[in-house]
């Protein structure tokens, strides 16, 4: 069951206490990390290594992805098990730009063709690689490709009124199909090796500390802006229509709302956010390959949101950070049990914490439901 408290929160202002606190904490953490990396010399106790900065930047892109999932799952009630696909598509669009940036510095030294194409004996660049040497074209594609896929998929699925578990299964199939396609060398996206060996972005060296700090900063900024955009949506009347669709879809239809258009719009918006998150993720981890389309990854996303707490937005961020920190720690400390602990986490959260960590926190602190809701 949905948490009534969580849903009633959305009736409040754009900048409510949770939003202001979230933005403040995010801003402070970013300032501290950037300051500690840039101001204190290596070896100082207060120094934060560039490795850690990049790791945190990666987490922030995951947090943005989780916010995108929370928007469609928590508020609209669509359990998408394929959001990893939009993330990966955004990542591939960025990867293609970074590949073109390599120029003739690749192993084979071809000024135009990326290494894997030379290796496959291709003579010329496939048409869908055109334009990716231009950053702004790539930036456009980062949003357009996931958005377009979400539009076509959503248009077909929502208009046929596919809902619930059936929709979840189709989204899984979508990401799985894309994974199989991207694994093929003939697709022209580097097959199972994907795209990697990036050199620089907009002319800046990807390995330099300054570029890494900038990417970290951009990830934090994207998270803040994405969060605010989602917050704007859920506090508008559109957000209340989304809740209405989630809780009583038929009633919403008979009230005069074209449910499929609302679902489609929010789904596409969420896919674009996921694409942006993927585009920021790729330069920081240095690789994008078809394993990002793996169904398991999309399921993991949902676990983050469930663990943090649905329909709160900040819960999704907390969940994404908590699970990924645990993952980084556990895969190093106890690599054999990592997957089991993820599974156990999902089972336990579903059974005992239907409202996630946020719900648990509210319960423990007695932050109980107000008698009246602000309209």
Partner 1 sequence: MTNVVDFIRQTVDRDHVYDFMMPQQNPMLEVGQGFLLYLEGISVSFDGFKAINDLNLYIKEGELRCIIGPNGAGKTTMMDIITGKTRPDTGQAWFGQKINLLEMDEPEIAQAGIGRKFQKPTVFELQSVFCNLELAMAGDKGVMPTLLARLTPSQVDRIDHVLQLIGLVGQRNLPAGALSHGQKQWLEIGMLLMQSPKLLLVDEPVAGMTHQEMDRTGELLTNLAGEHTIILVEHDMDFVRSIASEVTVLHQGSVLAEGTMQQVQSNPKVVEVYLGAEA
Q: By the criterion CB under 8 A, which residues form the site for partner 1?
A: 2, 4, 7-8, 11, 233, 236-238, 240-241, 243-244, 247-248, 250-259, 261-262, 265, 371-375
- What single DSSP character describes residue 110? -
If we measure between CA atoms, which residue out of 331, 306, 304, 341 comes closest to residue 320?
Answer: 304
Q: Which is nearer to partner 1, 206 or 241 (CB)?
A: 241
* CA proximity to 4, closest of 184, 222, 212, 246: 246
Nearer to partner 1, 2 or 285 (CB): 2
- 3-state secondary structure at position 117: helix
What does the DSSP assignment read for 305-324?
HHHH-TTSSHHHHHHHHHHH
State the minimum distance, in angstroms, from the CB of residue 240 to partner 1.
6
Nearer to partner 1, 73 or 129 (CB): 73
Query: Whole-number minimum distance, CB 19 to partner 1, in Å?
Result: 18
Q: In this structure, what is the dihedral angle of CA atoms 138, 144, 148, 150, given to the nearest 10 degrees?
A: 100
Which C-beta is closer to partner 1: that of 158 or that of 304?
158
- With vertex at residue 121, the alpha carbon angle to CA 120 and CA 127, rounded to the nearest 5 degrees, is 85
Say how many C-beta atoms besides its own lie within 10 A of residue 253's C-beta.
15
Q: How far is the CB of 241 from partner 1 (least distance, A)?
A: 6
> Shortest distance, CB of residue 79 to partner 1, whole angstroms?
18
Instruction: Give 370's DSSP letter.
Output: P
CB of 239 to partner 1, least distance (A): 9
Structure tokens at 82: 């394929």
Decide: 275 and 143 in contact? Cβ < 8 Å.
yes
Q: What would the DSSP string read from start to end of 8-74?
A: HHTTS-TT-HHHHHHHHHHHHHHHHHHHHHHHSPTTSTT---HHHHHHHHHHHHHHHHHHHHHIIII
Dist. CA 364–CA 165, nearest whole Å:
32
CB of 82 to partner 1, least distance (A): 22
Which residue, 225 or 248, is less far from partner 1 as judged by CB?
248
205 or 247: whose CB is closer to partner 1?
247
Shortest spacing between CB 267 and partner 1, in angstroms: 12
Q: How far apart are CA 204 and CA 215, in angstroms?
A: 11
Q: In whole angstroms, how close is the CB of 67 to partner 1 at the nearest point?
A: 18
Give 278 or 356: the residue with its C-beta nearer to partner 1.
Answer: 356
Q: Return the number of the residue (208 or 261) whose C-beta is nearest partner 1.
A: 261
Cβ closer to partner 1: 11 or 341? 11
- Distance, in Å, from the CA atom of 162 to the CA atom of 178, rounded to the nearest integer, reads 21
| DSSP letter string, 171-187 | HHHHHHHHHHHHHSGGG
The tokens describing 152, both together, are 């076509």
Q: Decide whether 8 or 55 has the Cβ nearer to partner 1.
A: 8
CB 82 within 8 A of CB 300: no
Shortest CB 205 distance to partner 1, Å: 41
Question: Minimum distance between the CB of residue 370 and partner 1, rounded to whole angstroms?
Answer: 9
Tokens of 244: 């209405």
């Amino acid at each position: 069951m949905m948490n009534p408290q969580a849903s009633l929160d959305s009736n409040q202002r754009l900048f409510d206490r949770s939003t202001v606190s979230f933005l403040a904490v995010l801003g402070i953490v970013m300032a501290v990390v950037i300051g500690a990396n840039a101001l204190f010399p290596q070896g100082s106790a207060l120094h934060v290594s560039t490795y850690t900065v990049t790791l945190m930047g990666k987490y922030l892109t995951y947090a943005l992805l989780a916010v995108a999932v929370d928007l469609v799952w928590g508020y609209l009630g669509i359990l998408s098990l394929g959001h990893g696909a939009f993330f990966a598509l955004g990542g591939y669009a960025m990867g293609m730009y970074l590949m073109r940036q390599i120029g003739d510095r690749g192993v084979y030294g071809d000024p135009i063709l990326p290494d894997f194409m030379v290796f496959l004996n291709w003579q010329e660049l496939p048409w869908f690689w055109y334009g990716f040497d231009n950053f702004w074209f790539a930036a456009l594609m980062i949003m357009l490709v996931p958005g377009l896929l979400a539009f076509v998929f959503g248009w077909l699925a929502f208009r046929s009124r596919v809902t619930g578990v059936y929709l979840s299964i189709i989204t899984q199939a979508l990401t799985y199909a894309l994974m199989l396609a991207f694994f093929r060398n003939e697709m022209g996206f580097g097959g199972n090796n994907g795209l990697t060996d990036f050199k620089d972005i907009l002319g800046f060296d990807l390995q330099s500390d300054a570029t890494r700090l900038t990417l970290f900063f951009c990830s934090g900024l994207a998270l803040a802006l994405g969060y605010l955009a989602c917050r704007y949506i859920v506090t508008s009347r559109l957000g209340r229509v989304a809740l209405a669709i989630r809780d009583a879809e038929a009633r919403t239809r008979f009230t005069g709302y074209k449910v499929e258009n609302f679902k489609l719009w929010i789904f596409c918006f969420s896919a674009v956010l996921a694409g942006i998150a993927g585009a920021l993720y790729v330069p920081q981890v240095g690789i994008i390959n078809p394993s990002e389309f793996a169904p398991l990854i999309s399921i993991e996303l949902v676990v983050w949101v469930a663990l943090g707490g649905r329909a709160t937005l900040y819960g999704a961020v907390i969940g994404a950070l908590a699970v990924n920190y645990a993952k980084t720690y556990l895969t190093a400390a106890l690599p054999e049990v990592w997957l089991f602990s993820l599974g156990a986490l999902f089972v336990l959260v579903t059974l005992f914490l239907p409202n996630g960590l946020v719900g648990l926190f509210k319960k423990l602190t007695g932050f109980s439901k107000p008698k009246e809701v602000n309209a």
